[in-house]
Amino acid sequence: MNKNKIKRDKEVEQVYLALLNEHFETVSLEKYNDAMMNLIFTEACEKTLGKNFRKQRISKRKEKKIKEYVENKLRHKYGKWVNMTDFKIKNISNIFFKTNLDRVFNVPGLGKLYGAYYRCCCGNIFFTEHCLERFEERANPLIYILLRRRMEEHLKGPATSVDILSGLLSASSLEYGRKDNYYHVNATVGILVVEDFGDVFIAKTFLSPDMIKPVKWFKPDIYDRETVSSFSDVINCKGEYIDNPQFIEEMIQKDAGANSC
């Protein structure tokens, strides 16, 4: 069997294992034990209650300590890209929260992956740290501020770069091209290079409009963005079909960090 195919199959398997919860929801600690929120919660419990914490109930005093530990961890490590509002501990095996940190995963070879938690946008697309950093660095600052304000109105709360990109990807103006396992998505303010892992999509990098030449795009017909719950929905929409879309080979390799973790 082809070694590259075996490697690819293992990569796909790793992504699927790490991205089991396709949409944000309140879940028990045990259900998605690879989600970042649960890893932090487990660490906080161990620090506060010891290794055998599952056998205990949490007192109000210890619950407060756990909350403080989690809040400090969130604020310092994930505050830039993760919405953090409130959470409460029901018992030792259940944590309820209003944050999209349960959409952050550690995936071997890809590093941390971030995903949006609200259903009206693309639920099965995730962003690498590299992609988010390039988006914030290369997007027009004025347009970025306007997009953030618009998304904050929609969310009725703070918006991160993950929220903004997910919103752009479900907009009716979306266009894209495809080559092999990669989509080059015209997100209006720039181009996202997205790798297809089979119903799970990883945005590897963001290219500003001045970094690329004009290309032909496939434009899906999206009439009602409320019906779009995943990136799969977007690329399966009917629309203008281009038999041989003009593609730029360098786009995948244009940004040296596209394949970094």
The SS3 of residue 233 is: helix
> Average per-residue pLDDT in the chain?
68
Rounded CA gap, 93 and 240, in Å?
A: 49
Per-domain boundaries in the chain: 3-102, 105-259
**Structure confidence by residue, pLDDT tens digits, 190-246:** 888 888 877 678 888 888 877 665 555 566 665 555 555 666 666 666 555 444 444
Rg (CA), the chain: 20
Rounded CA gap, 107 and 105, in Å?
A: 6
- Which 8-state DSSP code applies to residue 121? S
- Which 8-state DSSP code applies to residue 109? T
Identify the pLDDT of residue 120: 38
- Which 8-state DSSP code applies to residue 58? P
Beta carbons of 190 and 207 less than 8 angstroms apart: yes
Rounded CA gap, 253 and 207, in Å?
A: 11
Alpha helices in 19-176 (DSSP H): 36-49, 60-77, 129-138, 141-155, 161-169
Identify the pLDDT of residue 132: 92
**Structure confidence by residue, pLDDT tens digits, 6-16:** 666 666 555 54
The SS3 of residue 217 is: coil
Q: Is 128 exposed, middle or buried (0-12, 13-18, 19+ CB in 10 A)?
A: buried
Closest CA to 204 of 242, 251, 172, 155: 251
Beta carbons of 161 and 83 less than 8 angstroms apart: no
Closest CA to 162 of 200, 203, 190: 203
User: Is this prediction's pTM over 0.75?
Assistant: no
**Structure confidence by residue, pLDDT tens digits, 51-72:** 766 555 667 788 788 878 887 8
